[in-house]
Structure 1
Amino acid sequence: MVTLKKITLAELPYLWEISYKSSSPLWVEYDAPYLHTYEALTWDKFNKEQKPFFLSEQVQGIYHNGLLIGATTYYWESRETSWLEIGLVIFEEKHWGQGFGKSAVWQLVDQLFNKFPEIQRLGYTTWSKNVGMIALGESLKFKQEGRLRKTVYYEETYFDIIKMGILRDEWKRKLNENHC
């Protein structure tokens, strides 16, 4: 069973262990590494730099049978125009490919459409190397709204930027399909 809930202060040491302690965690290879250089963090540096983010209102932990395995987030691309985006990370490879991310995004999208009745669309950005995130979106009826071809040059290869999105009425139809 996958649930979303606020990450607690007491969980931060475990979160650090699965996210930023290692010098080269695999999750970083898919989390837009072309935008930033990852560096392993000491506990003190994690506590100083990442704690505010992980304890913020926009972040929820992803829990599988009570165990913290990742995080979801949302952020305003433009509050004035009601442009809301989401993000997801599952830190350890052993939890990938089992539907945990799909369940987390399902819950997050439902929460956000309920929390913000003014928004008509939710979306996220990924890249063509992250086939898991593309497939996850497609399985939830997100549409590929944009593909910026060969936009990212990373490790001597060009990759596409992928924009995925779903409209409120599409989400309602998806909910109705699953309750019939």
Structure 2
Amino acid sequence: MYTDKNLGIRPIKNEDLKKLWELVYKEENPEWKQWDAPYFSHRAVSFETFMEKSDAFVDSDSLWLITVNEKVCGVVTYYFEDEMKKWLEVGIVIHQGKNWNKGLGTRALKLWIHHVFNTVSTVRAGLTTWSGNERMIRVAEKLGMQLEGRIRKVRYYNGEYYDSVRMGILREEWETNKASESD
């Protein structure tokens, strides 16, 4: 577990599964989906169906919970884009609108990237979003990520085209940023 004041990130436990289902799969059109790749479909699933695959979530290395005052409010993830496990991407979702615009995403993603660089043999952490999610782009910039690619007008949502935005930070850049913060 990693903490920053009242915010923490930690592995998922069995007792978290009901809340995780409520945040992610209970609703067909949850509010958070407007920002998290809304051009991809999302389906509600019953709690029973969710529980059939829940073993994959418990104590996962690549999917952790975000908590505020010990209440679950989101998730952080990582996955590899390639079989060689050289291209790592991170992700974050704060599921309830009442927790947006408070800096929680920045704090949680900072803890997560720190964890990733401490536990995964990778030289880079990337983040892919879309140009309609300006808050996510700002979070990445605050953490020192650089724009690495912009694929124009490949995401279609609500009758409008958006760009896919790829950002990333190298391990040595993260370490340099971390060192300068402690000065």
Distance 1:114 1:65, change over 3 A: same
- Structure 1 residue 19 and structure 2 residue 21: aligned? no
Using a 3 Å threshold, how does the CA distance of structure 1 residues 172 and 26 change in structure 2: closer, same or farther? same
Letter of the 2:113 counterpart: V
1:2–1:104 contact (8 Å) kept in structure 2: yes
The separation in 1 between residues aligned to 2:10 and 2:38, in whole angstroms, is 26
SS state of the match for residue 40, structure 1? Answer: coil
Stretches of 4+ aligned residues off by more than 6 angstroms: none
Greater displacement, 1-10 / 53-62: 53-62
Which residue among 85, 108, 111 is the counterpart of 2:112?
108
Structure 1 letter corresponding to 2:26:
K
In the alignment, what sits opposite 2:42?
A: 38
Aligned-residue sequence identity (percent) comes to 36
2:102 matched residue in structure 1? 98
| Alpha-carbon RMSD | 1.5
Counterpart residue number, 2:9: 4
User: What does residue 152 of structure 1 align with?
Assistant: 155
Shift of 1:22: 2.0
TM-score by length of 2: 0.90
Q: What amino acid is the match of 1:42?
A: S
| One-letter code aligned to 2:102 | Q
Amino acid paired to 2:78: Y
Partner of 1:46: helix, strand, or coil? helix
Q: SS at the partner of 1:106?
A: helix
1:97 maps to amino acid: N
Deviation at 1:53, TM superposition (A): 4.4
Identify the residue that residue 92 of structure 2 maps to in structure 1: 88
- Out of 159, 164, 171, the residue aligned to residue 168 of structure 1 is 171
Deviation at 1:69, TM superposition (A): 0.5
Aligned length: 177
